[in-house]
Amino acid sequence: MTAERQERNGWRLGIAFITLLGIQAVLPFAARASTTERVVVNRFSGLAIEGFDPVAYFADAKAELGSEQFEASEAGAVWRFRNEGNRASFVAHPDIYGPQFGGYDPIDVARGVTVAGNPRFWLVSGQRLYLFSRKEARDAFAADPARVLRNANPRWPELERTLAQ
């Protein structure tokens, strides 16, 4: 083999190696990109509501982080729980324990926009969990939940359609 041909083949191997590295670097991001926007999910971890246990809001009346030992996959997201009982309750009834409006702030949904709720600003009202982007929004909702929901409920289906599945 001539020196020129050896050099060309070496260049091709280098390109193949770089391409292989690039594919390996992109694969983890492709898996993360498959999560949904219809539920507030951390785009880096894939965790719904930042890993907080949605059942704990009802059972313990406080925001508590779940454990990676107790996870469930629902609605394109990974949910964490404090114990197996909370996990089982959620799996049996995700529509009850999951945050309303996918975890988006109902005050903003009522205005026609989606702003991710913060799991630290929450309220259980009418046996449903609501997350808010800020304390002031939670307080405004608590003052008159029926008024906010009258505006938010009809707007949510259209907003939900605009979010990625």
pLDDT tens digits for range 10-50:
556 555 555 544 544 443 433 333 345 888 998 888 899 99
- Predicted confidence (pLDDT) at residue 6 exceeds the cutoff of 60: no
Instruction: Give domain status of residue 27, yes or no.
Output: no
Return the percentage of the chain with pLDDT > 70, whole number: 77
What's the confidence (pLDDT) of residue 73? 93
Helices 135-143 and 145-162, interaxial angle, to 10°?
120
Instruction: Give domain status of residue 114, yes or no.
Output: yes
How far is residue 147's CA from residue 51's CA, in Å, rounded to a whole number? 30
The number of domains in the chain is 1
What's the confidence (pLDDT) of residue 13? 59
The CA dihedral of 5, 6, 8, 12, to the nearest 10 degrees, is 140
Instruction: Give domain status of residue 61, yes or no.
Output: no
Instruction: Give domain status of residue 143, yes or no.
Output: yes
Assess contact for 41 and 77: CB atoms under 8 A. yes
Instruction: Give domain status of residue 94, yes or no.
Output: no
Instruction: Give domain status of residue 36, yes or no.
Output: no
What's the confidence (pLDDT) of residue 156? 96
Burial (CB < 10 A; 0-12, 13-18, 19+), residue 136, is exposed
The phi, psi pair for 76, rounded to 5°, reads 75, 15
What's the confidence (pLDDT) of residue 109? 96
Which residue type sits at 111?
A: R
Tokens 């289906």 — which residue? 157
Instruction: Give domain status of residue 77, yes or no.
Output: no
Please give the average per-residue pLDDT across 116-145, as a whole number. Answer: 97
Instruction: Give domain status of residue 108, yes or no.
Output: yes
CA 73, 75, 79, 81 dihedral sign is negative
Assess contact for 72 and 135: CB atoms under 8 A. no
What's the confidence (pLDDT) of residue 34? 38
What's the confidence (pLDDT) of residue 61? 96
Whole domain around residue 115: which residue ranges? Answer: 99-165
